[in-house]
Structure 1
């Protein structure tokens, strides 16, 4: 009898994208620290209790982080740091993208992709221990979940000896650099809140663009065609109603009426384009 494999790829490694750009100095430094310190065997992984991110209850641990999950964590830490947005603290990649980059994704004989190994690492360990937080948003316009928005917490950086104070200093410098660039373009300065909002919008766009499943595309297209069967003013009203529900009062005040109208126009023409396109 052949021994069943415990995991398909026992030695996952992060592979940067082919069109990679030079990352900021802090990100390169953080990736080096994470590699040299071994984030998977830091004392935080042994001493901190796992907590349910929803209700805060302690999740009992039966054993230490096994070697297969430890290797996955080392690769995932590098991937998350590579895609880290300093000003917003968001990881600008979906779980599927991170899984593919680390070699954690698998394909069944039927050709179906599975990212369970990466997803469980995040939901069963990295989020409960306090390394990150995840936000899952339901897109009421297209009727589907947007890939998780991942935000890295100070504890994640502390696990490879980067203090919260240092992280805050770097974030302030990054925001200052962004505002200097905006000033040169004649635009208004932004806050951390605005930087996070913009990063979330960019994440949503890139994550949906990355999803090329025919099943998902068909569902999106059918949804778009159903909305476009309405008169244009009713379709725009439908889009506006669901757009408003996606934002808090603070975010709506920050966006403003003109920008909200612009978003409605963008969503409407996006639906028209989606309805006309053929499957990827």
Structure 2
């Protein structure tokens, strides 16, 4: 019996709007509506634009028609990028990992490791060479490696959903007017388009750094938790007890009592067990 090989985990990815998010600006709502009405994976633009190597500028040969798995991933990704698009800076206010999660493109292995390679390849091997997205790398001095990319949507991206550059510029001007109106109401000086762009970009960088540092701290805690939990429950609890005794004063230990201390050890043990087996959630 012939069995078709399954080479993607989720053949029909869909973008899911994050919970507890604020309503997006009118232009974003309009753009997302357009993206749902048009098949962004089957437009005429693919017969006009030839992808280029982003490093060398040389043309890349490819089939004119996207395979259906990548086409489905692209449809979801376009909506996700639009949802997180910042009109004043052209930046996508989300990491590749976040976009991958929200589009259902992330996978978890049996060992618990997350993979976002399907989303990452879609961006680096297709959307960037086609000129829909531009990426900028920044070095992280804390971790000693590159931070998540700063992704910018180009006018060509919006041509996928039949939004002209003139319409985009008009929306940007309206957004700048709204920002400055709020600043004037607060008694502050209005900003130029370049100033708003710089401020927005700096804020995005700050959030990325904060996220990276919190994620680093999580993995440090996880490694420590795994080291303690790797022992038998009895030995693990003895180690926790020694740590707790060092962290409390004699008066605090007396107030807590033997029963209270035992209860605290159990709480810490199961808390560490949970951390050791958990995944970092963006």
TM, length-normalised to structure 1 = 0.73
Give the aligned partner of residue 42 of structure 2: 41
User: What SS class does the counterpart of residue 8 from structure 1 fall into?
Assistant: coil
Q: Distance in 2 between matches of 1:75 and 1:177?
A: 30
Larger Rg over CA atoms: 2
User: Is the 1:93–1:203 Cα contact (8 Å) retained in structure 2?
Assistant: no
Long gaps (5+) in structure 2: 222-274
The answer as to 2:68 corresponding to 1:76 is no
* Per-residue deviation, 1:123: 0.5
Give the aligned partner of residue 57 of structure 1: 58
Q: Distance in 2 between matches of 1:147 and 1:11?
A: 26
Q: Distance in 2 between matches of 1:44 and 1:216?
A: 44
Q: Could you report, residue by residue, the CA deviation over 1:71-120 in whole angstroms, capped at 9, with x for unpaired residues?
A: 00000000000001011111100110000000000111111111000000
User: Is the 1:146–1:204 Cα contact (8 Å) retained in structure 2?
Assistant: no
* Per-residue deviation, 1:209: 4.6
The answer as to 2:94 corresponding to 1:93 is yes
Give the aligned partner of residue 164 of structure 1: 165
Quick one: higher RCO (CA 8 Å, sep 6+), 1 or 2?
1
Q: Distance in 1 between matches of 2:132 and 2:80?
A: 14
* Per-residue deviation, 1:176: 1.2
How many residue pairs match? The answer is 222
Give the aligned partner of residue 263 of structure 1: none
* Per-residue deviation, 1:62: 4.1
Q: Distance in 2 between matches of 1:50 and 1:13?
A: 25
Give the aligned partner of residue 30 of structure 1: 31
Q: Distance in 2 between matches of 1:209 and 1:65?
A: 37
Give the aligned partner of residue 205 of structure 2: 204
Q: Distance in 1 between matches of 2:141 and 2:95?
A: 19
Q: Distance in 2 between matches of 1:164 and 1:204?
A: 26
Q: Against the structure 1 CA distance between its residues 174 and 216, is the aligned structure 2 distance closer, same or farther, given a 3 Å change threshold?
A: same
Q: Could you report, residue by residue, the CA deviation over 1:111-135 in whole angstroms, capped at 9, with x for unpaired residues?
A: 1111000000000111111111001
Give the aligned partner of residue 231 of structure 2: none
The answer as to 2:146 corresponding to 1:145 is yes
* Per-residue deviation, 1:186: 2.1
User: Is the 1:90–1:196 Cα contact (8 Å) retained in structure 2?
Assistant: no
User: Is the 2:42–2:65 Cα contact (8 Å) retained in structure 1?
Assistant: no
- The CA RMSD measured in Å over matched residues stands at 2.3
Q: How does 1:1-280 map to 2 (within 5 A)?
A: 3-62=4-63, 64-210=65-211, 213=215, 217-218=219-220
User: What SS class does the counterpart of residue 149 from structure 2 fall into?
Assistant: strand
Give the aligned partner of residue 239 of structure 2: none
Give the aligned partner of residue 266 of structure 1: none
* Per-residue deviation, 1:202: 2.6
Q: Distance in 1 between matches of 2:56 and 2:189?
A: 39
User: Is the 1:147–1:204 Cα contact (8 Å) retained in structure 2?
Assistant: no
> Hey, which bits of structure 1, 4+ residues long, moved more than 3 A?
1-4, 205-219
Q: Against the structure 1 CA distance between its residues 218 and 40, is the aligned structure 2 distance closer, same or farther, given a 3 Å change threshold?
A: same
Long gaps (5+) in structure 1: 220-277
